[in-house]
Structure formats: C-alpha cells, structure tokens
Amino acid sequence: MTEENTICEHLEAIKELKLPLKHECSECMKTSSQWVHLRTCQTCGETLCCDSSPNQHMTKHAHEKEHFVAISAEPGERWLWCYKDELFAEY
C-alpha cells in the first residue's frame, strides 16, 4: 500500500535546495511576457514561471530538459513539486 506522504525518487534525491537568485522568469524577460508565480528548478537553479502563467516555462523546461523537480520561488511558500510524478512535498 502507498502512504499519503510517499515521495518519488526525484524528490528524495534533493538534498540541498536551490533558492531563487532572481524573482523573475528568465524566459518571460526575453519576450516581455507576464507571469503569475515563479518556480525554481532544482536541477539547474533556473527560475521560471508556473502552470498558471500564460507561457508555463517551468513545465516546458521540466519536460524538455528532464529537470523534474522545482520549488516554489514565492516568498513564504515552502514546497517542492515533481513534474514527472506530479507529487508535492513540503519542506
């Protein structure tokens, strides 16, 4: 049986969090697009926009580069998300 708080191998592999260096989506900045929330990739440290944003740069990044784990880059939010397994974990 799976427990409610089961985490995947990707989330388990995160030992140290990569925190956002800038509070902006690096892709949206290139095209002067708008974003809603920001996420920081835990593989390369890039900060990109979330699924509620028009361009969904973090989702694209996760699947194209296979960088599956991102954290919320929003102040006060402390959670990780795995795009492959669609799993959420708080820290």
Query: Hey, which residues between 25 and 64 contact Zn ion (CB under 5 A)?
Result: 25, 27-28, 35, 41, 43-44, 46, 49, 55, 57
Counting runs of H as helices and runs of E as strands, what totals does the chain give?
A: 3, 5
Alpha-carbon Rg of the chain, whole angstroms? 13
Residues in the chain: 91
The token duo for 66 is 């296979």
The token duo for 26 is 């690096």
x/- binding map, residues 60-89, to Zn ion, per CB under 5 A? Answer: -------x--------------x-xx----
Chain contacts with Zn ion (rule: CB under 5 A)? 8, 10, 25, 27-28, 35, 41, 43-44, 46, 49, 55, 57, 67, 82, 84-85
